[in-house]
Structure 1
Amino acid sequence: MEERSLRSHVLDLIGSFLYQEKFPSYPYLREGILDLVDSTSSYREEGEELYPEIFITNNIESVLETLPFCKNVEIDRKSASVKEFSNALKLCAPLSRNGWVIYINVEEKHISYGVVSSEISELSPTFRTQAVGELSQNGDEYCIAYLQNVGNKTVLLKGSEASALICLTLNSRGSAHGLELRSLCSFITRDVNKQYKDISASYFEKLIGNALIIGHGNLIGVVKDDMQNLSTLKARHSDGIYLRNPIDMYELLTVSEEEKTREACTSNRLYSSLLESMLNHDGMTVLTTSGKVLGYHVFVKPQGGEENDLVGGARTRAFEIMKRSQCFECCFYKSQDGNEKFWSVSDAQ
């Protein structure tokens, strides 16, 4: 698609999104969001790739009132123009990490921007979940649009009613971003205590989601947590690192939630960071249906006739072999160009 026609297509898509979300018809708004989409699709600051989360609203005060324990820092307030969207990104992107999210508040003649955080612990739902996801509670008081690069020059634009994946490459992607990850996390927490099932699923979704955004391709396998399945797995996929003492992420997060001590929260944060690094290591990361990390850097190799009819790159073929090996309850794949696939045992039945 030529650059001019791509620009027109994305502008039309943004215009439709703003109409569905009932944003005011400010003349600068559509072009401003287009600049953000273009900039965040491959944003770098001093040589480092950044993946800032941004939300645009027309009533920041009402937004903050709906988010418990919300902290905010206003950076600047300027006369409204398309250029100020780029300024907001440049000034705030380096601050948008560790739970802080960029906000841009739009008015007819002014734009204000800064950063906000609604997290109170490692177990807090993501800002996206609270603002435009299943925990959002905005009514008619304000409009809101969430924007983030989700990999390979693909930007998610999501509101209360509308959602769009804007792809600025020739590779197309599906429109159901997040469904595969949600399915994966439901399997990782399938056999945990019901009391913390929802919290732990949300926790894994946030942690793994962050790893997927900054990574360059991932393979994740989930196995049922019993001795027979674990023995079969290690015998079949033996080339990798299996932890002598698996990391019980579910236990870490429940202790953090119940004790609420600095030591418990720090421990959970450190192991979360470790798992994120494992997920972005070469090879497959293996978790159990009870929220434990079994191993990482596991290389998937074919046996017998498993390689028959396989096509695609190394990670694609590995994903297909994982499905055929009969070791996993579910498998997840993300390619370097951003495509995601999910398979579970129920798909094979």
Structure 2
Amino acid sequence: MVSFRDYLRECLNPLRSQLGSRFQGHDYLTEVILMMASYQEEGTDLFPVVFLADSMDHFKNHLGAREMVLVGEGQPCRETFIRAFKLCAPLAEDRLWAVYILLEEQGIRYGIFRSDSSPLSPSVFERLRGLKAPGTSIVGLTRLGGNFVEIRTSLGQHKYVNVASSDEDDYHPGQVIRDFVDSVCSDVSDSVRPLLKSFYQRFGMDVLHGSHGSLIAIIRKGEKIPEILEDGVPLNPPISIVASIEGIINGSDDRDAYLRLFSYGQLLRKLTWMDGITILDTEGCILAFNCFIKTSAYRAEDSIIGGARRRAYGHMQTSVPGVLAGCLYKSQDGHIEFKGDRCGLRSS
């Protein structure tokens, strides 16, 4: 009989074989992946980020780790990894802190480190996604959504593991968020786009990991809010994330400027937690929230789509041609989809 654990171990062997000697001979990765895939505390799904490396300098030099907080140490055995995860994971579920596991010659040390919390900086896992550093051995693990875990190494290798029964090709929450980010940042200048993408990548992951359902419409820059969505709260003037970013680029590099962006991120999360549709545009502006489709706009066939949020998501895709650039839907149980004019339907 072959267990899933055995199957997963075999799938990870090609990735593990390229890493340093301390990653060989012990099944570190399989154990952590299986714990992460369905991790909960008191019935609530949590989404910590975990990094393993064979040198403390790797955490600091390549991941920008700050304030390393040692939690414990032990022998390289299954019990130590379980203890490390159970003690550290609840402390790192907000992604401002990350779990580290340091593989040393005589044993293992583990703890948490603070990552760069600036809304304009790549998250610590985004740093790893862009890293290709021969001679290093860093492995990062992040739970994207549901039972879906992404594994990345500092050598540029990656693998996705879906512990659920869904087919992996149809279940890729990370790609859904990337398509959303591409759409909401599509009409900004090249000088601002990377920073705006960092802002919305962080926000998108918060939507993905949130316990609330969300529905976000992205309309093209310069277009008016469609009539069917006018039953809501427009922001006048809209909140321009780009203007705040440009203020920092042009020299307003002070504490208040960064706090303003951080506050906008927190506000946007709260807007999307409310009932109704949050409306953005392709320049990253926040235009309105708590919007509902007028009852008179629904067609007879819309009633068979599903719940209210799902029905609104389906209706918008066909009712505002030329205005809507994309729409992000997330159910309360974690299912997420994005439909955009550049990528078609992405779902998980």
Q: Same fold (TM over 0.5)?
A: yes
Q: Is the 8 A contact 1:55 1:104 kept in 2?
A: yes
User: What residue is the counterpart of 2:161 in the other structure?
Assistant: 166
2:284 paired with 1:285 = no
User: What residue is the counterpart of 1:330 in the other structure?
Assistant: 326
Query: Which of 150, 154, 160 is equivalent to 2:148?
Result: 154
User: What residue is the counterpart of 1:124 in the other structure?
Assistant: 121
User: What per-residue deviation string (whole Å, max 9, x for no partner) do you get for residues 165-198 of structure 1?
Assistant: 3333333443654233222222222222332211
Q: Is the 8 A contact 2:76 2:107 kept in 1?
A: yes
Letter in 2 for 1:223: I
Q: Is the 8 A contact 1:301 1:321 kept in 2?
A: no
User: What residue is the counterpart of 1:295 in the other structure?
Assistant: 288
User: What residue is the counterpart of 2:301 in the other structure?
Assistant: 307
Identical aligned residues as a percent: 25
Seen in structure 2, the aligned counterparts of structure 1 residues 176 and 192 have a Cα distance that, compared at 3 Å, is: same
Instruction: Extract unaligned runs of 5+ from structure 1.
Output: none
2:55 paired with 1:59 = yes
Seen in structure 2, the aligned counterparts of structure 1 residues 309 and 10 have a Cα distance that, compared at 3 Å, is: farther
Instruction: Extract unaligned runs of 5+ from structure 2.
Output: none
Seen in structure 2, the aligned counterparts of structure 1 residues 6 and 21 have a Cα distance that, compared at 3 Å, is: same
User: What residue is the counterpart of 1:11 in the other structure?
Assistant: 9
Q: Is the 8 A contact 2:98 2:115 kept in 1?
A: no
Query: Which of 100, 103, 108 is equivalent to 1:103?
Result: 100
Q: Is the 8 A contact 1:21 1:162 kept in 2?
A: no
SS in 2 for 1:240: strand
How far does residue 21 in structure 1 lie from its aligned partner after superposition? Answer: 5.2
Seen in structure 2, the aligned counterparts of structure 1 residues 100 and 250 have a Cα distance that, compared at 3 Å, is: same
2:142 paired with 1:144 = no
Query: Which of 207, 211, 215 is equivalent to 1:215?
Result: 211
Q: Is the 8 A contact 1:63 1:138 kept in 2?
A: no
Distance 2:300 2:283 in 1: 28
2:257 paired with 1:264 = yes
Seen in structure 2, the aligned counterparts of structure 1 residues 69 and 7 have a Cα distance that, compared at 3 Å, is: closer
Q: How many residues align?
A: 337
User: What residue is the counterpart of 1:37 in the other structure?
Assistant: 33
Distance 1:254 1:74 in 2: 38
SS in 2 for 1:202: helix
User: What per-residue deviation string (whole Å, max 9, x for no partner) do you get for residues 137-179 of structure 1?
Assistant: 4221x22221122222332222344333333333344365423
Distance 1:166 1:7 in 2: 12
User: What residue is the counterpart of 2:88 in the other structure?
Assistant: 92
SS in 1 for 2:237: strand
Q: Is the 8 A contact 1:21 1:161 kept in 2?
A: no
How far does residue 127 in structure 1 lie from its aligned partner after superposition? Answer: 0.4
Distance 2:122 2:159 in 1: 22
User: What per-residue deviation string (whole Å, max 9, x for no partner) do you get for residues 255-285 of structure 1?
Assistant: 3454222222222222211111222333322
SS in 1 for 2:224: helix
Deviates more, 1:51-60 or 1:155-164: 155-164
How far does residue 237 in structure 1 lie from its aligned partner after superposition? Answer: 1.7
User: What per-residue deviation string (whole Å, max 9, x for no partner) do you get for residues 291-311 of structure 1?
Assistant: 111122333467365836964
Letter in 2 for 1:152: G
Let me know the Cα RMSD of the aligned residues.
Answer: 3.0
Distance 1:301 1:35 in 2: 50
2:238 paired with 1:243 = no
Q: Is the 8 A contact 2:302 2:314 kept in 1?
A: no
Deviates more, 1:287-296 or 1:146-155: 146-155
Seen in structure 2, the aligned counterparts of structure 1 residues 137 and 73 have a Cα distance that, compared at 3 Å, is: farther
User: What per-residue deviation string (whole Å, max 9, x for no partner) do you get for residues 70-89 of structure 1?
Assistant: 44233333221111112212
How far does residue 68 in structure 1 lie from its aligned partner after superposition? Answer: 4.7
SS in 2 for 1:178: helix
Distance 2:300 2:236 in 1: 29
Q: Is the 8 A contact 1:80 1:108 kept in 2?
A: no
